[in-house]
Structure 1
């Protein structure tokens, strides 16, 4: 009976012992964990990040010939609505006047009733003959009067005595009659409407049997032999050209990049476009071929002056913010503002920075670049 109370006393003591051991073990684990975390942080902080690897190219300053380019619309030199010069009924609409027809210069388009104009020509011819007859009479009167004074060995007192004023009136009457006859013949000729230049009939306005008056539209004719371009350049591009530019040959390129032909600068500059505030250059297409179409857009490239101390870089070297990144001899980044002189075949041409070249240029700069940042340059072989 005496052992049971002793066992009951020892049981709570063992429980407290195990609880104490468990608390000590937990505290030891917590201390070890905190100590390990601090050690990891310290070791990570001691390892510096490696410089990023970037692709660079080596570029030396050089002299390039400037080239400016712009897109321009092909326009026919002659493009007009042909209008009637006389009044009357249209008696014939020729095939050349139908929409879409290709006509040659001098092709007959419309015939307008010509009887009134034939009558006017006949009347003018009669008037001219009468004026010529009056002139002959006046000349004869002058001759007779002058001979009379010569026989009498006297000087005529005035021009009226020898009929000179009548002679001058007769001469002017003949000139007036001739002018009227020419006008009548021109009106008769205008009754037959012909193409003033070669081209395509874009639209026909008049129909058979229609009565037209002077100024009424007949057809819209567009030239198919002579073409011109009007290109617009900024004042900065204009400064890159050799002046004067009249007579300069420009190359034409299709939007696909295929060479198209040549154009000659007829005139450029002198004024700014009121809407775009750019300089306009007028060009004539030389030796146009059958591929050229009015209304098409072609790229006009005009050679300019030679510029020294420039860098030619790929367009990928330019950031969206307009900067270019250089890598110094100590592999640190240097940012410069790229003043683009012009673009050519996927390249940008900028003034060379101050200092001795060549320079190492990052060809694919990142937005995260910072001035003075250390990098690991890797030369691009392409």
Structure 2
């Protein structure tokens, strides 16, 4: 067993040496680590041109198409007025506003009718006398037959008197009709200046009315919007919405009716006029938009062809970044047509298969190598 004392330590030394050699061999056999990719990562997409109808907005106050200071056309005592003839009252076209005592005007009409009857009788009499004179003239020498003998001046005078009497009838009828003062249109009463028993002189303003059949919004148009106006502005369909409203947004149909035809000296803006039919909903039953309300007018302008819609953050110094075939950045100059919300409408020399960079590196440079981590779908289709 003595030999075991020599063999066992020797075996341990041999095994340890072999293990050390194996570790060294494994360490020498490991491959060198891969080179780290420092290229910035980007996402890309493609773009498709489209036609885009420009939406134009303007802001202005709703005002009445016309305001009437209603005045009495005759003199007399106020004997009755409509209970709705108060501030805030709404009266329909042709509805009675107030009445003026009519006895004097009824009497004037009777007198005018009497004068007309007398004038008609006089004309009949003169015509009969002229007929008698005509028959008698047939037996007289021609020298004795004059216009006076044939009663021609008398007939002309009677005809003139008849026309004067007819005119007096029209005046008397008009004055009598004016005793009943009616609304000239569907009206909002702004104020009333009369009461029962008041004596009005002709021309006295009795009330102020706003026309509620049609309302208008006069709104400025910025210079950058003027280039996108339709070729014919009048007749353009629009929408008017009420701003600063706590409940559901109120939108009413409107029509652009005209341009005011001048530029503001300070702002160089022009002004358009939109009209709303029946703003108080008297005939349609729609929710009223009151005069004085601040509104937004929206309508469609020109349609622009072959443009791209793209998020604003992708445009830097009017440049858009693309990738070439070697995944390197290429700057493409673009023409910014208009800003629409968070997007730009642009024109650019871009093909449908060009790759547009959606996530730019912090400091993009022409020729910078990048790594594509995602290929998105078409940009327009994603909107």
TM-score w.r.t. length of structure 1:
0.68
CA contact (8 A) 1:60 1:358 kept: no
Match of 1:272 among 222, 237, 262: 262
How far did 1:349 drift? 5.2
- Residue 156 to residue 299, structure 1, CA distance change in 2 (3 Å): farther
| 2:215 aligned residue | 227
| 2:112 aligned residue | 124
How far did 1:234 drift? 4.3
Tell me the number of residue pairs that the alignment of Structure 1 and Structure 2 aligns. 327
> What is the Cα-based RMSD across aligned positions, in Å?
4.0
How far did 1:129 drift? 2.3
- Residue 347 to residue 140, structure 1, CA distance change in 2 (3 Å): farther
SS of residue paired to 1:95? coil
Match of 1:107 among 85, 89, 95: 95
| 1:331 aligned residue | 329
CA deviation vs aligned residue, 1:187-215 (integer Å, no higher than 9, x gap) = 22222222222232222222333332222
SS of residue paired to 1:162? coil
Measure, in 1, the Cα distance between the counterparts of 2:355 and 2:225: 28
- Residue 193 to residue 318, structure 1, CA distance change in 2 (3 Å): farther
Measure, in 2, the Cα distance between the counterparts of 1:149 and 1:358: 111
1:1-382 correspondence runs (5 A): 58-150=46-138, 159-234=147-222, 237-255=225-243, 258=249, 260-265=251-256, 267-269=257-259, 271-274=261-264, 277-286=268-277, 289-295=285-291, 296-314=293-311, 324-329=318-323, 330-331=328-329, 338-340=336-338, 343=340, 346=341, 348=343, 350-354=345-349, 356=351
Measure, in 1, the Cα distance between the counterparts of 2:74 and 2:363: 76
Q: Unaligned 5+ residue runs, structure 2?
A: 1-35, 279-283
Measure, in 1, the Cα distance between the counterparts of 2:315 and 2:196: 65
Stretch of structure 1 that moved more, 282-291 or 122-131: 282-291
CA contact (8 A) 2:73 2:202 kept: yes
| 1:23 aligned residue | none
Q: Unaligned 5+ residue runs, structure 1?
A: 1-46
CA contact (8 A) 1:60 1:359 kept: no
CA contact (8 A) 2:222 2:269 kept: yes
CA contact (8 A) 2:312 2:344 kept: no
- Residue 141 to residue 314, structure 1, CA distance change in 2 (3 Å): farther
Measure, in 2, the Cα distance between the counterparts of 1:364 and 1:254: 39
Stretch of structure 1 that moved more, 90-99 or 230-239: 230-239
| 1:39 aligned residue | none
Measure, in 2, the Cα distance between the counterparts of 1:268 and 1:91: 44
